């Protein structure tokens, strides 16, 4: 029996939370379940993989019966389960997704979206937010490794724009520059 999208999403959230690169992640899947992709897992294997993630430090967030959860949750496209997992991972309520729906489509609630593409767009927006938060965590960890308080203290970095924490291209470039600085220190 193949696993649900929610379980698949939980596996990917665990991988992200543990900051596993692709080789280590695929190695874990091979070691624990004998597969190279989470899509190949059956229910029993997925449970074993999730137990291993928990052993390694993954802290699953309980599925929230959050205020504002769409009343028609089970009637919405399957991506709604992934949206729920993303909200839980970022510790956000359904009102956050509702605000995205309002901003993107002028529709006050995710529950009122009519088109599957709209739900996919909410999912994409949450993915972007999740990526920004992950990049920001990387910046903070790299600052710690470099022994600095602010990323601008890395040699060669100019003054960062006021809203740099919300801009993916700047965050990606910053992580790369800081990682290069860490690598350069190690090479000495």
- The 10s digit of each residue's pLDDT in 75-113 is 888 888 888 888 988 889 999 999 999 999 999 999 898
CA distance 90 to 9: 13
Domains of the chain by residue range:
5-55, 65-188
Which two structure tokens, joined as six digits, stand for 73? Answer: 């949750």
Per-residue confidence (pLDDT) for residue 102, from 0 to 100:
95
Choose from 70-74, 122-126, 152-156 the range with maximum mean pLDDT.
122-126
| Tokens describing residue 140 | 């903070």
pLDDT score at 64:
46
The yes-or-no verdict on residue 165 having pLDDT over 80 is yes
Q: Kindly report, residue by residue over 129-139, the tens digit of the pLDDT.
A: 999 999 999 99
What is the pLDDT, as a whole number, of residue 155?
A: 64
Alpha-helical regions (H) of 67-167 = 79-89, 94-105, 116-146
Residue 26: pLDDT band with limits 50, 70, 90? very high
- Rounded (5°) CA angle 112-115-120: 100
Task: Give the Cα separation of 187 and 90 in Å (integer).
Answer: 36
What does pTM read for this prediction? 0.61
pLDDT tens digit string along 150-160?
887 776 677 88
Alpha helices in the chain (DSSP H): 5-17, 22-33, 43-55, 79-89, 94-105, 116-146, 168-187
Choice among 15-29, 49-63, 79-93, 165-179 with the minimum mean pLDDT: 49-63
Higher-pLDDT residue of 140, 68: 140
Band of the pLDDT at 5, cuts 50, 70, 90? confident
pLDDT on residue 123? 92
> Sorting pLDDT into bands at 50, 70 and 90, what band is 65?
very low
Residues forming a β-bridge with 105: none
């Amino acid at each position: 029996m193949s696993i649900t999208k929610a379980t698949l999403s939980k596996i990917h959230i665990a991988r992200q939370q543990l900051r596993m690169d692709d080789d280590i992640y695929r190695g874990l899947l091979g070691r624990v379940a004998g597969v190279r992709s989470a899509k190949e897992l059956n229910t029993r294997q997925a449970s074993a993989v999730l137990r291993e993630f928990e052993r390694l430090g993954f802290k699953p967030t309980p599925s929230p019966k959050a205020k504002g959860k769409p009343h028609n949750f089970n009637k919405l496209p399957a991506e709604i389960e992934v949206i729920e997992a993303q909200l839980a991972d970022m510790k956000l309520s359904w009102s956050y997704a509702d605000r995205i729906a309002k901003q993107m489509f002028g529709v006050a609630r995710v529950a009122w979206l009519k088109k599957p593409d709209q739900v996919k767009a909410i999912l994409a927006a949450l993915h972007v937010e999740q990526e920004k938060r992950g990049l920001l965590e990387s910046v903070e960890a790299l600052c710690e490794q470099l022994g600095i308080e602010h990323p601008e203290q890395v040699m060669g970095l100019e003054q960062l724009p006021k809203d740099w924490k919300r801009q993916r291209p700047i965050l990606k470039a910053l992580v790369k520059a800081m990682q290069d600085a860490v690598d350069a220190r190690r090479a000495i």
